Structure 1
């Protein structure tokens, strides 16, 4: 049986699309994606809450409750663990794993590296089977300085892989891959950065889409509504009513009792 960790060491990098609800995750899995991540921006936006502000713990758990039983590997974006106490973050990880999550993404938000390392160590001790992807925001929120030192600290704490969103320069990516000596590097795909095949050639082992799909979907919905108001027909493809309905557990013959309890 292929594990989530195995997908980071396959012949091709793991292209991880990020979903925001049951339908989006199920539709991606139906197109052959063996693993699906969540996107904290979409979870927060759907609830009218700010992203990256530790405000969506319950919403994140609710989404994991919905997606965890599905027949694809699930990685959950948990921001910084929704708190500074490593024990609290470890308890969150236990809950996510119990709901079916195979991986967790934890970001440092450029807070103290030792605090983030303590969270990673606590999660590893509490849930050894959960793949921990340690994200540093040195490029996302800064100029890239201190990236190597932070990643070293997170790896010593037990992270299985590391994530550096905002890093798009091929030379810098290749150098970081060499320094990681086999540890899977996760890069956030950018339409203006290297293509997925190029990232593969550079040695990247995981490529995340982050909030890109959600933002495209939201943009397409607004454009379609505005176009209809202006008398135009909507462009692009749209699944039919029946195709969307077929994604539900009930229409697939399963039980939706777990989902309805949320």
Structure 2
């Protein structure tokens, strides 16, 4: 039987790998039981599950505990979103990668955010060295926030993303996560122009899965969207029960990312 790291890598050779990003071991088990060929965390959902805000605030020991708990209940590959590695120091990022790989992850997301692409390149190289020491063919998915965080003017976003794709590929990345990209022409051009499998982040404005497949997309992530809905449902059901003593599933809606994130106390 192929190792889970190779299984995960091979899944990117097929049609879009659809990842219903999870919060904890229980939701990870549910996703596998419902047919998930791989499981991936949402950094925001995982942080919220511990009562922390998204954005490099979750302590490493809690991240590691979550990964170990998920790996224990899964038979499919597990990929972990480690944000920007919780540091701009490649040595500190290596500590994070060491922890999640030792805990059972065979894939990671690493993002550039507002930092320079060169910093993410150094992080990717550090992650690769850690994986090699562990004998794991770690799938490093480089997330660029050019679109998501409007890092450059709109007319420059595609060209900047293509430039960063080349940087990250040369640094050793295995995939490119173009978070926030929704325009079909841009998606098609990116898929044609990079050797890296392209990952997109769910947005209601995205084309349907068949169209994304035709455009060349290899991976689609829910991000924190599922967790936002579930926490919103939790709030509605709990509020109704506290008010009436009855369970009601009426009027369920998602929490907004900003509202949910700010609900968690700051560090």
Q: Indicate whether the TM-score tops 0.5.
A: yes
Instruction: Report the 3-state secondary structure (helix = DSSP H, G, I; strand = E; otherwise coil) of the residue aligned with 1:18.
Output: coil
Q: 1:165 is matched with which residue: 168, 173, 179?
A: 179
Bigger helix fraction: 2
Please name the residue that 1:216 is paired with: 229
Please name the residue that 1:68 is paired with: 71
Please name the residue that 2:265 is paired with: none
Deviates more, 1:146-155 or 1:208-217: 146-155
Task: Quote the Cα distance in structure 2 between the aligned partners of 1:111 and 1:96.
Answer: 23
Structure 2 vs 1, CA of residues 123 and 220 (structure 1 numbering), >3 Å: closer, same or farther? same
Task: Quote the Cα distance in structure 2 between the aligned partners of 1:154 and 1:54.
Answer: 25
Tell me how far 1:59 sits from its aligned partner.
2.2
Q: CA RMSD in A?
A: 1.8
Task: Quote the Cα distance in structure 2 between the aligned partners of 1:71 and 1:133.
Answer: 21
Cα shift readout 1:177-218 (whole Å, capped 9, x = no counterpart): 01014x200001112321222211111000011101101111
Task: Quote the Cα distance in structure 2 between the aligned partners of 1:196 and 1:205.
Answer: 10
5+ unaligned residues in a row in structure 2: which ranges? Answer: 251-267
Please name the residue that 2:149 is paired with: 141
Indicate yes or no: 2:210 matched with 1:192: no
Task: Quote the Cα distance in structure 2 between the aligned partners of 1:232 and 1:55.
Answer: 35
Aligned residues: 234
Task: Quote the Cα distance in structure 2 between the aligned partners of 1:130 and 1:68.
Answer: 15
Please name the residue that 1:30 is paired with: 33
CA contact (8 A) 2:117 2:164 kept: yes
Indicate yes or no: 2:31 matched with 1:39: no
Tell me how far 1:112 sits from its aligned partner.
1.1
Please name the residue that 2:108 is paired with: 104
Tell me how far 1:227 sits from its aligned partner.
4.0
Tell me how far 1:232 sits from its aligned partner.
7.1
Task: Quote the Cα distance in structure 2 between the aligned partners of 1:157 and 1:23.
Answer: 35
Instruction: Report the 3-state secondary structure (helix = DSSP H, G, I; strand = E; otherwise coil) of the residue aligned with 1:65.
Output: helix
Task: Quote the Cα distance in structure 2 between the aligned partners of 1:77 and 1:15.
Answer: 15
Structure 2 vs 1, CA of residues 233 and 82 (structure 1 numbering), >3 Å: closer, same or farther? closer
Task: Quote the Cα distance in structure 2 between the aligned partners of 1:26 and 1:185.
Answer: 26
Deviates more, 1:70-79 or 1:188-197: 188-197
Where does 1:12-31 land on structure 2 (aligned, <5 Å)? Answer: 12-31=15-34
> TM-score of the superposition, structure 1-length normalised?
0.83
Please name the residue that 1:242 is paired with: none
Please name the residue that 1:131 is paired with: 139
Instruction: Report the 3-state secondary structure (helix = DSSP H, G, I; strand = E; otherwise coil) of the residue aligned with 2:84.
Output: coil
Instruction: Report the 3-state secondary structure (helix = DSSP H, G, I; strand = E; otherwise coil) of the residue aligned with 1:192.
Output: coil
Structure 2 vs 1, CA of residues 4 and 227 (structure 1 numbering), >3 Å: closer, same or farther? same
5+ unaligned residues in a row in structure 1: which ranges? Answer: 237-262
Task: Quote the Cα distance in structure 2 between the aligned partners of 1:55 and 1:218.
Answer: 18
CA contact (8 A) 2:191 2:217 kept: yes
Please name the residue that 2:263 is paired with: none
Indicate yes or no: 2:193 matched with 1:179: yes
Deviation beyond 6 Å, 4+ runs, structure 1: none
